[in-house]
């Protein structure tokens, strides 16, 4: 049996059922390469991920509802989306050193690009599901809020929750009667770890550029910089 003591210390939760924790950290690709011995049961983490996603959404929704009693539904929805998206959950999982304990195929283990971000985010959700089953709602709520609540202040202060692209389009149409356009200026890297620089234009004028691991992420950053450049943010 794998020793997950260090992982349990990292997340601040001790499991009664260690096999459940192992399942939460087992990616489908690992089982494809490491078939269980005859009579031995082994499972990947996708069912736990399904459960964890629902638990995570409930905990965060309840917390935001109580934390911001004067905010409308739209703002609360945006805050929640910023907290539980793949980028945020992958970052938190990386900080908790999930990478050291994930059970992956040799091929997946070598890939540290964009695909790993999603694997980490999914593993975070599957561990949430496992904590809920093993220790109950109060413990999983404590775990979730301990690692995600500190992110809320930054999200609100820096307005990371807003859709910069939509906002820039609304401002540009209202102020200058122009719809922004986006063009890829540069892209590089292998398929699993691409990088893009995208420019946002009003007419033929380049307003700003943004960089990201996808065209969509680069567009969002470009729009954010454009809002600042134009003084519309």
Sequence ranges of the binding site: 49, 122, 125
Residue ranges for the binding site for Mg(2+)?
49, 122, 125
First-residue to last-residue Cα distance in the chain: 53
- Name 77's Cβ contacts closer than 8 Å, sequence gap at least 6: none
Query: Residues, the chain, total?
Result: 233
In which order are the strands placed within the sheet that holds 181-188?
Answer: 181-188, 195-202, 205-212
Q: Is residue 126 within 8 Å of 24, Cβ to Cβ? A: yes
Count of alpha carbons within 13 angstroms of residue 141, beta-carbon side = 10
How many Å apart are CA 150 and CA 96, to the nearest integer?
14
Q: Which of 6, 33, 53, 193 is catalytic?
A: 53
53 catalytic residue (yes or no): yes
111 catalytic residue (yes or no): no
Q: Give the helix ranges, DSSP H, for the chain.
A: 5-11, 18-24, 28-33, 46-67, 73-84, 86-95, 106-110, 114-135, 137-157, 164-176, 215-230
For residue 3, count CB atoms less than 10 angstroms from its CB and return exposed for 0-12, middle for 13-18, buried for 19 or more.
Answer: exposed
Q: Which two tokens stand for residue 80?
A: 């929640």
How many Å apart are CA 128 and CA 55, to the nearest integer?
7
- The set of catalytic residues is 53, 125
């Amino acid at each position: 049996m794998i020793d997950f003591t260090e992982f349990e210390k990292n997340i601040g939760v001790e499991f009664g059922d260690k096999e459940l924790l192992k399942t939460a950290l087992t990616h489908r690709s690992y089982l494809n390469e490491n078939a269980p011995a005859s009579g031995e049961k082994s499972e990947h983490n996708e069912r736990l991920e399904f459960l964890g996603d629902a638990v995570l959404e409930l905990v965060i929704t309840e917390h935001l509802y109580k934390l911001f009693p004067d905010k409308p539904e739209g703002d609360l929805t945006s805050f929640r989306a910023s907290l539980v998206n793949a980028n945020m959950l992958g970052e938190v999982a990386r900080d908790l050193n999930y990478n050291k304990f994930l059970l992956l195929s040799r091929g997946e283990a070598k890939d540290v690009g964009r695909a790993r971000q999603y694997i980490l985010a999914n593993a975070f959700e599957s561990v949430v599901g496992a904590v809920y089953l093993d220790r109950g709602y109060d413990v999983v709520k404590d775990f979730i809020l301990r690692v995600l609540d500190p992110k809320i202040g930054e999200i609100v202060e820096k307005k990371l929750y807003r859709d910069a692209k939509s906002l820039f389009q609304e401002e540009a149409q209202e102020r200058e009667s122009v719809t922004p356009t986006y063009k890829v200026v540069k892209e590089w890297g292998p398929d699993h770890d691409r990088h893009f620089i995208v420019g946002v234009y009003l007419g033929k004028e380049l307003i700003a550029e943004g960089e990201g691991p996808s065209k969509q992420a680069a567009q969002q950053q470009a729009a954010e910089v454009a809002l600042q450049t134009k003084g519309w943010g």
